[in-house]
Structure 1
Amino acid sequence: MHPRASSPRPARSLAILGTGHSLPQQVLTSAELDHRLGLAPGSVERISGVQQRHVAGHEDNAATLGAQAAHKALQAAGVALQQLDLIVCANGTQDQGMPCNAALLQRELGLGQSGIPAMDINASCLGFIAALDTLSWAIQAGQYRRVLVVCADIASCGLNWQQVEVSGIFGDGAAAAVLGPGGGRILASRLRTYAEGAELCQIPAGGSRYHPRRIDQPFAPLTSFAMHGKGVFRLAAKYLPALLDDLLAQAGLSLAEIDWVIPHQASQQAMAHAARRLSMSPGKVIDIFARHANQVAASLPTALDIAVRDGRIQRGQRLLMIGTGAGLSLGGMVLEF
């Protein structure tokens, strides 16, 4: 049963003051993967829809990539590090079990003695939408005026590269945004979780449930990402239409009044399905999948930053950000940029 659709609601003030993204230097093409895996030329790109992806080297971690993206966002926003009131990481993956990613990022930014609060908001691939939705209330209330949000994910180390259907669609990267009051507006937002699909996307290891001291099975296989792609697609297709209708009803808009759609770059199949479902011109969908792959939580804000920097997205335009993540969770936001 779907929750009842919403009526138009008052907008929330939220300005995205600046954005930035960063990528590891190492590029892995699908042609290289074909050779590495002994596949016929063109196999990985045909299966995954990805031409190339950036993958982290041994010197990279989420904090270093996140700091690079953060500096670009701060420069674009005209905000100094010392002006920040809050640092938030919305990664889908962890740099380590403890402390939170945001604490490690704070140190990487040279703010380790600043006292600026740092915390994580983890909603898997929907981290950016969840962070904007959650933080907008505190910003609107005046608790914070300058908030740095960073999504930085290194997926490559948790993949079984023999499983091309899964590993071939992922890449690494980071993206950041500086938030503040005034300027933009959240016209609608919605997050939903259907835990009937909790096992469709998961990395079992990493916490106490499958800690190596508590299990009687091999630990290494539990550290790899596992995804049942068809199950994810079916469940998302079941619930996404109602979510989209709800978002547009909240915003009091039709799809024709949306300037740009920025989907989470989940997979070629998901991107194609979203384009069909939205019945929008491909030119109105920000699609970076072929050259970046699925960068987990960093995907959506990376696509946003690329489209802002190349001039497609302009102030005052209405953006529909939408996607799915492990949980199984769905989320969307209509934002007046």
Structure 2
Amino acid sequence: MTRTAPHPRTAVVACATYLPSTLRTTAETEERLRVENPTLTLPTGLIRRITGVENVHVAGPEAQASDLAVAAARRALEQSPGEVDLLIFASGSQDLIEPATSHIVSERLGTRCAVFDVKNACNSMLNGMQVADALLAAGQYRRALIVTGEVPSYAVRWRVDSREQFLRSFGGYTMSDGGAAVILEAGEAESPEPSGGRGILGSRFLARSEHWGVGTIPAGGTVNPHSEGGAYFDMDGAALQAAFASVGVGLVAETLASIGYGVDDLDFVALHQVARPYHDRIVEVLGVDPERTLLTVAEHGNLASATLPFQLAEARAAGRVGPGGLVALVGLAAGISLGAMVIRL
């Protein structure tokens, strides 16, 4: 029998988040919409009933995406002190079109390392970890800091000129500001088996880009370089949900099967969450024990690319998963894209 060579693993040595302390309740969101749109008919509690969201975090009016990323990064570096030789800013938000926001984060942190940005909507952080994992496994770097700073509150449309525009802006009312940081470290070969060892065991990603137009912030690029009309969420929620439903979440089972595991082997599953009903449906389809997930969208809103590291950090802090635990991170993003990553802590 031919034995495969030992597989080096990229270990997750730190995971930290930062959420602004200011909360905006869904009731306050609805009240502001009524005040700014006197002709808008908005039944009391509509947003909460549809999405299950009670609160969202809101950064200050001067806050930048880099501010939230830096705050989370400092917490991660407290968990695992030491120099990093790669810094990736992985976020749907950004400070400027140029330069890459990673430069701003690096300057603030005082690091002297290679930097670049990764951008893929709510899957940005997961894709950033994917890229860092590959670079560490290739031996190009030893220790990578992947950060996100999401400030979607800047893209909320408060004044709407029609019911249709309100519905296309709906997703923004449940988006939350936040930062997250993960430190990955190159590990030694630990096991000759694909499923063995601590670290990132496997990941898979796919995209169905024919659906890119159902969820956008159509400003700031070459299509609308000067953001005429403003940089606001524009989303066909029903079409986005239908697109995700048509793709399904079989990617998760495929990723687990490729390393010799099944859903029942997982100790914790972090799922991207846009609304309570959609979260519950994904849990059901995956066949995951709900007790092995963590509902965050109700109290914290949709944290965009910070969602998965936030859930992982919260689960670890609560003792729901610890060293040796098997974790899956499941990402869903506009575009649309899906991703699954399995980690042994």
Q: Counterpart of 1:215? A: none
Inter-partner Cα distance in structure 1 for 2:257 and 2:152: 35
Q: How does 1:44-55 map to 2 (within 5 A)?
A: 44-55=47-58
Sort the Cα spacing of 1:48 and 1:86 in 2 relative to 1 into closer, same or farther, 3 A.
same
Q: How does 1:50-89 map to 2 (within 5 A)?
A: 50-77=53-80, 79-80=81-82, 83-89=83-89
TM superposition shift of 1:190 = 0.8
Q: Counterpart of 1:310? A: 318
Q: How does 1:206-285 map to 2 (within 5 A)?
A: 206-212=220-226, 219-221=228-230, 223-285=231-293
Q: Counterpart of 1:6? A: none
Q: Scaled by the length of structure 1, what TM-score is found?
A: 0.88
Bigger Cα displacement from structure 2, 194-203 vs 242-251: 242-251
- The residue type paired with residue 321 of structure 1 is L
Bigger Cα displacement from structure 2, 177-186 vs 274-283: 177-186
- The residue type paired with residue 228 of structure 2 is F
Q: Counterpart of 1:187? A: 201
Inter-partner Cα distance in structure 1 for 2:8 and 2:236: 37
Q: Scaled by the length of structure 2, what TM-score is found?
A: 0.86
Instruction: Choose the corresponding residue for 1:43, options 46, 51, 68.
Output: 46
Question: What fraction of aligned residue pairs are identical, expressed as a percent?
Answer: 30
SS at match of 1:18: strand
Inter-partner Cα distance in structure 2 for 1:252 and 1:235: 29
TM superposition shift of 1:280 = 2.0
TM superposition shift of 1:298 = 1.1
Contact 1:18/1:74 (8 A) holds in 2: yes
Sort the Cα spacing of 1:296 and 1:205 in 2 relative to 1 into closer, same or farther, 3 A.
same
Inter-partner Cα distance in structure 2 for 1:66 and 1:93: 11
- The residue type paired with residue 30 of structure 2 is D
TM superposition shift of 1:315 = 1.1
- The residue type paired with residue 221 of structure 2 is G
Inter-partner Cα distance in structure 1 for 2:278 and 2:89: 25
Q: Counterpart of 1:5? A: none
Q: Counterpart of 1:333? A: 341
- The residue type paired with residue 171 of structure 2 is V
Q: Counterpart of 2:142? A: 145
- The residue type paired with residue 225 of structure 1 is F
Q: Counterpart of 1:125? A: 122
Contact 1:187/1:250 (8 A) holds in 2: no
SS at match of 2:29: helix
Contact 1:12/1:186 (8 A) holds in 2: no
Inter-partner Cα distance in structure 2 for 1:54 and 1:101: 22
Contact 1:262/1:303 (8 A) holds in 2: yes
TM superposition shift of 1:121 = 1.3
1:31 and 2:27 are equivalent in the alignment = yes
Bigger Cα displacement from structure 2, 175-184 vs 326-335: 175-184
- The residue type paired with residue 75 of structure 1 is E
Inter-partner Cα distance in structure 2 for 1:191 and 1:127: 12
- The residue type paired with residue 160 of structure 1 is R
Inter-partner Cα distance in structure 1 for 2:11 and 2:301: 28
Question: CA offsets, 1:216-275, max 9 Å, x none?
Answer: xx8124x11111112111121222333123212212211111111101122223212211
Query: How well do the aligned residues superpose, as a CA RMSD in angstroms?
Result: 2.1
Contact 1:158/1:225 (8 A) holds in 2: yes
SS at match of 1:21: strand
TM superposition shift of 1:331 = 0.8
1:173 and 2:178 are equivalent in the alignment = yes
Structure 2 residue ranges without an equivalent (≥5): 35-41, 161-165, 188-196
Bigger Cα displacement from structure 2, 123-132 vs 36-45: 36-45
Contact 1:184/1:336 (8 A) holds in 2: yes
Contact 1:13/1:140 (8 A) holds in 2: yes
Structure 1 residue ranges without an equivalent (≥5): 1-8, 213-217
Contact 2:57/2:300 (8 A) holds in 1: yes
Contact 2:121/2:333 (8 A) holds in 1: yes
Aligned residues: 318
